[in-house]
Structure 1
Amino acid sequence: MNPGPVTAPAALSGKLITPDDSRYRTYRSTYTTVGSPAVVAVPESAGDVAAALLLARDRGLAVAVRSGGHGLSGRGTNNGGLVIDLRRMNDVTVLDRSRRLVRVEAGARWAQVAQALSPHGLAISSGDHGNVGVGGLATGGGVGWLVRRFGLTVDRVRAVEVVLADGSLVRADAANEPDLLWVMRGAGAGAGIAVAFEFEALELRNVGYAQIAARVDPAGGLLQRLDAVLKDAPRELTTAVMFSSQGPVTNAFITAVVATDDTRAISDAIDPLLGIGEVTLQQALLTPYTSLVPREHMHVNVGQMPASTTNGLLTEVTPAAGRALVDMVAGPTPLFVQMRSLGGAVAETDPAATAFPHRHQRFLVTASTFPPYGYDDLLRAWKPVEQHTEGAYVNFESNPSQASFDRAYPGAVGTRVAALWRRYDPDGVLRPRR
Structure 2
Amino acid sequence: MTTAAAAFAAPPELAGRVVEPGHPRYRLLRSTYTRVGSPAAVVLARDARDAAAALAAAQDQGLALTVRSGGHAMSGRSTNDGGVVLDLSGMNGVEVLDRAAGLVRLGPGARWGAVAERLARDGLAISSGDHGNVAVGGLATGGGIGWLVRRYGLTVDNVRAAEVVLADGTQVRADERRHRDLFWAVRGAGAGVGVVTSVEIEAMPLRRIGVVEMAFEAKADGKALVRWAAAMAASPREVTTGAFLARDGSRAVLVVTAAVAADDPEAVRAALRPLLSGPRPLQAKARMAPYTALVSTAHEHRNAGQQRASSTSALLPEMTPEAARALMRAARVLPGAMVHLRWIGGAPNDVAADATAFAHRDAKVFASPLFPPPGTWDDLRRAWEPVWAHGPGSYVNFESTTGADAFDRSYPGATGARVKELWRRYDPGGVFRPLPI
**In structure 2, how many angstroms separate the alpha carbons of the residues matched to 1:80 and 1:393?**
28
**Distance in 1 (alpha carbons) for counterparts of 2:161 and 2:56:** 25
Whole-angstrom distance in 1 between the partners of 2:203 and 2:354 = 22
Q: Match of 1:71, as an amino acid?
A: A
Residues 299-378 of structure 1 mapped to structure 2, 5 A cutoff: 299-331=301-333, 333-378=335-380
User: Contact 1:248 / 1:330 at 8 angstroms: preserved in 2?
Assistant: no
Letter in 2 for 1:259: A
Render the CA deviation track for 1:36-70: whole Å, top value 9, x for unaligned: 00000010010000000011011111011100010
Partner of 1:286: 288
- The more displaced of 332-341 and 130-139 is 332-341
Q: Which residue of 2 aligns with 1:82?
A: 84
Whether contact under 8 Å (1:315, 1:390) holds in the other structure is: no
1:204-257 residue CA offsets vs partner (Å, 9 max, x unmatched): 111010100000122111111111111121111000111112565110000000
Q: Which residue of 1 aligns with 2:252?
A: 250
Answering whether residue 1 of structure 2 is matched by residue 20 of structure 1, we say no
% identical aligned pairs? 51
In the alignment, which of 404, 407, 417 is matched to residue 415 of structure 1?
417
Question: Is the aligned partner of 1:219 residue 2:221?
Answer: yes
2: distance between equivalents of 1:130 and 1:402? 30
**Matched AA of 2:214:** I
Q: Secondary structure at the match of 2:81?
A: coil
Alignment-mate amino acid for residue 264 of structure 1: E
What are the residue-to-residue correspondences of 1:25-424 with 2, within 5 Å? 25-246=27-248, 248-331=250-333, 333-424=335-426
Q: CA deviation at 1:271?
A: 2.8
Q: Residues of 2 paired with 1:275 and 1:222: CA distance?
A: 13
Deviates more, 1:352-361 or 1:241-250: 241-250
Alignment gaps of 5+ in structure 1: none
Deviation sequence 1:277-301 (CA, Å, 0-9, x none): 3411101110000111111111111
Per the normalisation by structure 1, the TM-score is 0.98
Q: Is the 8 A contact 1:333 1:377 kept in 2?
A: no
Distance 1:206 1:218, change over 3 A: same
Tell me by how many angstroms 1:319 deviates. 1.2
User: Greater CA deviation, 189-198 or 239-248?
Assistant: 239-248
Instruction: Tell me the secondary structure at the aligned position of residue 121 of structure 2.
Output: helix
Separation of aligned partners in 2, 1:400 and 1:29: 17
Inter-CA distance 5–216: structure 2 relative to 1 (3 Å threshold): closer
- Paired with 1:79 and 1:390, the residues of 2 have a C-alpha distance of 32
Amino acid at match of 2:200: E
Distance in 2 (CA, whole Å) between partners of 1:232 and 1:278 is: 18
Residue 342 of structure 2 aligns with an amino acid whose one-letter code is R
Q: AA paired with 1:119?
A: R
- Determine the C-alpha separation between the residues in 1 that align with 2:306 and 2:164: 31
- Residue type at the aligned position of 1:109: R
Take 2:286 and 2:280, find their aligned partners in 1: how far apart are those partners?
Answer: 17
Tell me, yes or no, if the aligned pair for 1:215 and 1:277 is still in contact at 8 Å. Answer: no
Q: Is the 8 A contact 1:343 1:359 kept in 2?
A: no
Distance 1:73 1:125, change over 3 A: same
What is the identity, as a one-letter code, of the residue corresponding to 1:212? Answer: M
* SS at 1:427 equivalent: coil
CA distance in 1, matches of 2:251, 2:330: 13
| Runs of at least 5 residues in structure 2 that lack an aligned partner in the other structure | none
Q: Shift of the alpha carbon at 1:393?
A: 0.7
What residue identity is the alignment partner of 2:397? N
- Tell me how far apart the structure 2 counterparts of residues 274 and 221 of structure 1 sit (CA, whole Å): 16
Q: Is the partner of 1:112 in helix, strand or coil?
A: helix
| Structure 2 Cα separation of the partners of residues 426 and 14 of structure 1 | 31
Task: Specify the SS of the correspondent of 2:352.
Answer: coil
Q: Deviations over 1:103-133 (max 9, x none)?
A: 0011111011111111011111111110001
Measured on the aligned residues, the alpha-carbon RMSD in Å equals 1.2
